[in-house]
């Protein structure tokens, strides 16, 4: 059965691969909209990058809505040190011609979800969760009306990638992440423990280069440039391709393994702000609130995502 999805994101190349692979899978997924927030770069740039990617793929009928320009209660932290000043450094794409849609992304999320039957729409979240938290505040019924939320964020045993304790998406807006995990929505969480198994080695990236299509060529260069930071930081043969794990899970959940557990987000401690506390062994006595995916078949993941991307 075809699943309706909304991608809520802060587009760097990872996010774009995630939603383009979904758009290229119309037999499985119907992408209703892309909503953007500040995160990797300010929202003006994330909104521009979403449209650049759509125009590259010649798929301009997907509406893009701009959302939150800052976290719920904190100052914005961005990641130009990883993604460059534009968020899409590494390959020059034309300025987008397609317009942003009128309206605020959280309102669009509420309208698109609540105008459809219950358990119809899945939110695919690959950035800070600010837009989702605002949407839940505006319409409390949203959490149980959704089919679910599949998100890339958090960490269990890998530590953090922006601080010693916190993964970037949750660190940028921990208050939003905490509200989402307490909302009662059916959440699937894909943490660094899982995404760090999916490395963009040169051999894997060559699949995009050899395809010699506009999309393949662009994303070969974007990902190769974008993952230099991770290669230098970790000493790995490639950087993790984080965000398309969300799409891959919707297309092929058998590639992943995990369990339902309790997840809480730290919002008070200056030392561990944004950390995801994952009760893997059920010692807290709190009820589970998320399916946390801890491992994936990396080779099958890249075959799936790059094959879908290269359909465009």
* pLDDT one digit per residue (tens) for the chain, 312 residues: 899 999 999 999 999 999 999 999 999 999 999 999 999 999 999 999 999 999 999 999 999 999 999 999 999 999 999 999 999 999 999 999 999 999 999 999 999 999 999 999 999 999 999 999 999 999 999 999 999 999 999 999 999 999 999 999 999 999 999 999 999 999 999 999 999 999 999 999 999 999 999 999 999 999 999 999 999 989 999 999 999 999 999 999 999 999 999 999 999 999 999 999 999 999 999 999 999 999 999 999 999 999 999 999
pLDDT of residue 52: 98
DSSP alpha helix (H) spans, the chain: 13-23, 43-56, 80-83, 105-114, 130-138, 142-145, 168-172, 174-181, 192-195, 202-211, 214-226, 228-234, 244-251, 298-309
The pTM (predicted TM-score) of the whole model is 0.98
> By CB neighbour count within 10 A (0-12 exposed, 13-18 middle, 19+ buried), where does 73 fall?
exposed
Q: Which domains, ranges and CATH numbers included, belong to the chain?
A: 3-309 (3.90.245.10)
pLDDT of residue 138: 98
pLDDT of residue 1: 81
Concerning whether 242 is annotated as a catalytic residue, the answer is yes
């Amino acid at each position: 059965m075809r699943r309706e999805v909304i991608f809520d994101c802060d587009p760097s190349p990872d996010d774009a691969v995630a939603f383009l692979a979904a758009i290229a899978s119309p037999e499985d997924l119907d992408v209703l909209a892309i909503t953007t927030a500040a995160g990797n770069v300010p929202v003006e740039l994330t909104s521009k990058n979403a449209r650049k990617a759509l125009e590259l793929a010649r798929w301009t009928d997907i509406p893009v809505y701009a959302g939150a320009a800052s976290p719920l209660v904190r100052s914005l932290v961005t990641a130009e040190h990883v993604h460059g000043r534009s968020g899409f450094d590494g390959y020059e794409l034309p300025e987008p011609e397609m317009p942003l849609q009128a309206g605020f992304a959280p309102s669009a999320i509420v309208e698109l979800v609540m105008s459809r039957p219950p358990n119809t729409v899945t939110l695919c979240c690959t950035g800070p969760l600010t837009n989702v938290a605002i949407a839940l505040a505006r319409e409390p019924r949203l959490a149980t009306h959704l089919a679910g939320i599949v998100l890339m964020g958090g960490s269990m045993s890998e530590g953090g990638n922006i601080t010693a304790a916190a993964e970037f998406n949750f660190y940028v807006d921990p208050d939003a992440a905490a509200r989402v995990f307490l909302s009662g929505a059916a959440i699937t969480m894909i943490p660094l423990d899982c995404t760090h198994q999916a490395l963009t080695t040169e051999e894997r990236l060559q699949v995009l280069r050899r395809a010699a299509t506009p999309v393949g060529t662009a994303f070969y260069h974007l990902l190769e440039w974008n993952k230099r930071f991770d290669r230098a930081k970790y000493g790995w043969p490639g950087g993790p391709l984080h965000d398309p794990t969300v799409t891959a899970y919707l297309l092929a959940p058998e590639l992943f393994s995990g369990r339902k557990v309790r997840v809480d987000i730290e919002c008070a401690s200056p030392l561990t702000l944004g950390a995801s506390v994952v009760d893997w062994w059920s010692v807290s006595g709190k009820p589970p609130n998320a399916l946390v995916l801890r491992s994936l078949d990396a080779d099958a993941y890249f075959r799936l995502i790059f094959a879908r991307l290269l359909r465009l």
